[in-house]
Structure 1
Amino acid sequence: MKIETLAIQSTQMHDANAGAVISPIYLSTTFERETDGSYAHGYIYSRADNPNRQLLEKSIALLENGAVGLAFASGMAATTALFQSLKSGDHIITPDDAYYATNVLITEVFGQWGLSMTTVDMTDLEAVKSAIQPNTKLFWIETPSNPQLKITDIQAISEIAKGIGALVAVDNTWATPILQRPLDLGVDIVMHSTTKYFGGHSDVLSGALIIKEEGELSNKLRTIQKLTGGVPSPFESWLVARGIKTLALRVKAQTENAGKLADFLNTHPQIEAVHYPGLATHPQHVIAKKQMLGGFGAMLSVQVKGDATNAMALTGKLKLFTTATSLGGVESLIEHRKSVEGTDSPTPDNLLRVSVGLENIEDLIDDWKIALE
């Protein structure tokens, strides 16, 4: 099946009780046992498993072409579970431009547990190789990166990691499986903040890990998921599964909008730089074309001429872009990232991160025209 069909079919649940077309929400926290102590339907307790979560996990695994899907209460909960699967003394290589909280999590939380980290420009393969240590066990990739949209060559990093017996994980939140499938490029694990494009409506907090193969790693992560309990509720699972049904349509339309907005801003005299992998001027445009087979995504960032004050002032002039954190919803959002991340962030002072929604693109471009005047 093509991915559009798979998104619909994988989120359908056969309802034997009422024949409902749409899956019911199973709010029960516990499930009935047989007199011999067994569980006729396979469910024991909702922290361990739930029909809505099970449906979601199977769907996400299928969409990413993986063997095992695990749903969590947030993207950070999913990331945390992966780091918990490592051992004290292990070393992680992460991008120098990535979701800010990921590296903070490693240093402030897992640093106390003996994990170490080296950040590196992952567009520079020689720099990546130089960062390898004898105890390197995980390469964490984020491509496109947040917020500067650097593109990492997934297949090349996977080959480097395999050469030393390390795992590779990709945060595929910005691309989604509609645009990019890292597991097909040699990766072991994919992470999603399903809060974003999978949910698609800015009304549900959740995350996921997808593992390429069933085995020791997937069993370890499943155990961590069950024992730590950072799982989504049945209703949250249901909301994300509902969002998946329209995922392909939304992402493709938003990507088309983002490309047109990037083209417009790229030639505007008040804009210093536009970061979008679909632009031929992007330094990793060729790599993006090779691995982002479905398109270049609906995220872009712009550097306004001037300083942080100029950038933040512009957000107040835009009428169709809400100034807010997060991304991937049907509404367009904009945010000054440096003020969120802190003074030690490597993000340029004049950078604005833009999540392009489903509004009419002519309206969105006009909004920028007026604001920039």
Structure 2
Amino acid sequence: MTIGCFKKKKAFGRSILDIKKELKKKRNQKANGLSLYMLPKGERMLIHSIHQITNKWNKNNVTRTQAYFDFYIQHPEIHWALLGHMVSRNGGWNMTDLKGDLLARLLSEKEQNNFYLFLERGNWLIFQDVYPQLLLYQQSVKINRNLFHLLPFLNVSVFMEVIWNHFWEYGDRYLLAIATIINEQSYLEERVVHHPHFKETVLDTLGFKLYDFLRFNHIIFPLYQHEKIEKKPALIGDTLYHFGSLYERIMLGKRLYAILFQQTSVLKDVLLWAGKHPHTGSRADYWEDLFHSVNESAPGAVYQRKTKHCERKKGMPRIYSPRLKYAWKNVDHTPAEKGDWFNDLSVIDYLVKDEKNTGGEIHEKYCKAMEKIELAIIAKKAIFLRQE
């Protein structure tokens, strides 16, 4: 290890200790009924404005995904905004899959609706938690003054208040990004993953177990390799193997961050693709030869395999992958549940740089997942026909 690397590692370790010390202090402080009227008029107006802007962009997956990207372009130092944008694209693709050629043939209409509400609730919750943080940071930069004392008035965890203050002082982009991953996944834990309604209607159902078995749970990042614009982009990413595990979700987030930000060339190539392809929710956004946002199959036609070795079979129509606005209506959400998830200092251990860049090899896994799902559709049809 070089002297420079040793100093950086030592400084990072010191940062973790400082954060732990500050979190202990904050955790022991009692929150005594915060009220907006405690704040000066200008800060109350800022809080109101942040809520309005957040609500404006929190309409659906497409608007949220675009908001993340626009913010990253303005503030590239906030790495999570791009990571959030790319992961949110995948959330949109998962939503439209439920109405597309493949999953719609395996899941009942009720299951499709339940799955969508589950995905949409998580997507909505994360945005209403994280986007106000981004806007508050933006305003802090604008006036060159730390405004993170306002985070409790936006119902943001004390964990992120400490992290944002640390970032304002030291500018550690990695630490802020990983802390945001920890925060958002922890925020979802009780509100979605262990929520009784979603456990009953989604997570404990045979449909979800089938979805998990078919491994149609890859997070993919399309990119133009070596900044060369091509009709079909390359794909990199990783796979979530156990959605119910907070540890697995956080570690996946860390691996995805490493894929995206450890190599400058990859970051440039992903940004090039994302900038040229506004998110619509259709998988045709990244693979026009295999997917199409208009259904090219004849109504009521028996499903036939359309792919072979990750290519569309000659003469076969493309896989239907609708745009989000045609697949699902916007949802009026009930307010987010109150409460701070942070109650255990051990989550700080996730901040340690222990993830490795896996290289992001996902293409073959993704293709095999599509093959599995096509075979499952054909098998289901065959069983149905035998029962008739």
Q: TM-score, normalised by structure 1?
A: 0.28
TM value normalised by structure 2: 0.27
- Greater helix proportion: 2
Which structure has more RCO (C-alpha within 8 Å, separation ≥ 6)? 2
Larger Rg: 2
